[in-house]
Every structure is written in C-alpha cells, then in structure tokens.
Amino acid sequence: MAVSLIDTHLHLDAPEFAADCEAVVQAAHAAGVGRFVLPAIHLPSCTAVAELVQALPGSACAFGIHPLYVKEAHEDDIARLRDLLAGGRACALGEIGLDGFVADADPELQEWFFIEQLKLAKAFDLPVLLHVRRAQDRVLKYLRRHPVRGGIAHAFNGSVQQARIFIEMGFKLGFGGAMSYSGSSRIRQLAASMPLESIVLESDAPDIPPAWAPAQRNEPANVARFAQILADLRGLPLDAVAEATTRNACEVLGL
Ligand SMILES: [Zn+2]
C-alpha cells in the first residue's frame, strides 16, 4: 500500500499498552498504519499523550476530558486545560462529548464539561474529537448552541440523518472495529454509503476489538484491516480508501 494510514483515535497511554507500547507502534507501522492521533481522557492523560507523541513523527495528540471521567474532574480543570491548550501542542479538543449509555453517568455534569470544552475549542479555533454514545441529538443540540470548526465524530453510531448533520457541521465520521461485525449492519451501511470525503479510520484501541479477536486487546495495526473492510464495503481499491481517509484526517485536524 503506497499511502500510510492514520489511526485517528488511539489510547496509547492506556495501561493495556504500558508494557509493550513500542512493539505496538512497530506492528502498526509494519501493517501500513504510520501515523496516530492520541486523544486524552483527563488532565493526567493530556500530559501522557503529549509525551508519547514526541516519539511518533507525523502524529498528533488532543487534550480534553472524556464524558465518563467528568466525575473525577474539577471545575478548575477547565482553566488548567486552557493553559495546556495555550501551549499549542494539541491538534484538537478531545476526547469530549456525552455518554448516555453508562447508567450512573451524571448527564448534567457531562453537559457542563462538554459545553465548557466546546467554548475552549471555539476560543482556540481547534477541531473536536467527539465521543457520542446514546446522545446523538443532545450532542448536536449543544454543537448548534456552541459551534466549532468541526472535527471527528468518533466511533460513529448514529442514523443517516444524524450523520448528514454532523457532516454539514464540518465533521468527519470515524469508523473502525464495529465494521468488522456482520451484525453491525447499520454501521456497515453508513460506512458503505456516506461520502468518502467524510470518513476517517480509527482503532479506539485498546477498546472495540474486531470480530476476528473479540476477547483481545485491540491494536492500531488493525486499522489496515479496517481499511480493507471499508474498501470492500464500498467496492473500491484499497489504495483509494487509504488515500482518501488519510487526506480527510489531515484536512480536518490540520496535520
Ligand atoms: Zn476513545
């Protein structure tokens, strides 16, 4: 494959990769996945991804507080996040958003942190990496109230209509391991039918393991196989999908 793939969503600072992070990166390179976007999940993670990315040429990190980590966060973290963003090392705010799936998640607290981080994205003119689970319409509502320059709706799992609204708002849709399950017909249908210029690839490793290794840690090398699945779903050569998804990621994140 001529074009190097970009994994637009990888948690390389997760404890699952602490023992063999370099080997994981090498395996990804060998598979044709040459660049990575590392979102943070809370403030300590911002420091961790900024450090990791220094050893990954052409890669980038994002700073943010994930909706499932707002309970451990403090209001002051927004000011500290602003200071971190002022350092100019993050390509985006992320991973931010809303999660309506987890039962004990505090929706109002999630919304407060989401809105404050959308304001930061606006202030720094940065794209955002969105986590949206059972919350598509609520996320869209807050994006209308607090517009940003776009970004990526990671692990996209909404309807065709919601996908179109995200695209109109300047977002790319992230697809990965979910495409590998034959039962994920809605996601496979979206990946097959949405405009190719709106699609980026991601692993979300160590999460969302693919159908061929459902009980194992997911890895960024799998993005090469996700690219092949996307190519097959769309009836396109692998090179065309690699080139388009890499271009889309570079364009939306300014890489
Ligand atoms: Zn994530």
Report CA(129)–ligand 1 centroid distance (Å): 9
Which band of pLDDT confidence, cut at 50, 70 and 90, is reported for residue 2? Answer: low
Report CA(208)–ligand 1 centroid distance (Å): 9
Which band of pLDDT confidence, cut at 50, 70 and 90, is reported for residue 1? Answer: low
Tell me the residue type at 74. Answer: H
The tally of CA atoms less than 13 A away on the side-chain side of residue 200 is 30
CATH for 78: 3.20.20.140
- Alpha-carbon distance 100 to 137, whole Å? 11
- Alpha-carbon distance 243 to 202, whole Å? 14
Provide the 8-state DSSP code for 158: S
Q: For residue 53, what pLDDT is reported?
A: 98
Report CA(177)–ligand 1 centroid distance (Å): 13
Q: Which residue has the tokens 């003119």?
A: 125
What CA–CA distances, in Å, run from 91 to 8, 68, 87, 129, 189?
11, 22, 11, 10, 30
Higher pLDDT, 106 or 198: 198
Report CA(205)–ligand 1 centroid distance (Å): 8
Report CA(202)–ligand 1 centroid distance (Å): 10
Give the chain's domain count.
1
Tens digit of pLDDT for each residue in 180-218? 999 999 999 999 999 999 999 999 999 999 999 999 999
DSSP letters along 91-136, please?
EEEEEEEEE-SSTT--HHHHHHHHHHHHHHHHHHT--EEEEEES-H
Report CA(9)–ligand 1 centroid distance (Å): 6
Give the containing element (helix H, strand E) for 33. Answer: strand 33-39
Tens digit of pLDDT for each residue in 158-168? 999 999 999 99
Q: What is the pTM of this model?
A: 0.97
Q: For residue 102, what pLDDT is reported?
A: 85
Is the pLDDT at 3 greater than 80? The verdict is no
Q: Which residue has the tokens 């517009």?
A: 147
* Least confident segment among 33-47, 65-79, 101-115, 135-149: 101-115
Long-range contacts of 230-237 (CB under 8 A, 24+ apart): 230/175, 230/179, 230/191, 230/199, 230/201, 233/179, 233/188, 233/191, 233/192, 234/191, 234/192, 234/196, 236/196
Q: For residue 103, what pLDDT is reported?
A: 76
- Alpha-carbon distance 206 to 214, whole Å? 11
What percentage of the chain reaches a pLDDT higher than 70? Answer: 99
Rg of the chain taking only CA atoms, in angstroms: 17
Report CA(232)–ligand 1 centroid distance (Å): 25
Which residues, in sequence order, are CB contacts of 200 under 8 Å at separation 6+? Answer: 6, 8, 152, 172, 173, 174, 175, 245, 248, 249, 252
Tens digit of pLDDT for each residue in 28-83? 999 999 999 999 999 999 999 999 999 999 999 999 999 999 999 999 999 999 99
Is the pLDDT at 128 greater than 80? The verdict is yes
Closest CA to 142 of 105, 187, 96: 96
Q: Could you list the residue range(s) of the whole structural domain that residue 154 is in?
A: 5-253
Report CA(49)–ligand 1 centroid distance (Å): 13
Q: Are strands 151-154 and 5-7 parallel, antiparallel or unpaired?
A: unpaired
Report CA(218)–ligand 1 centroid distance (Å): 12
Q: Check if the beta carbon of residue 206 is closer than 8 Å to that of residue 218.
A: yes
- Alpha-carbon distance 255 to 247, whole Å? 9
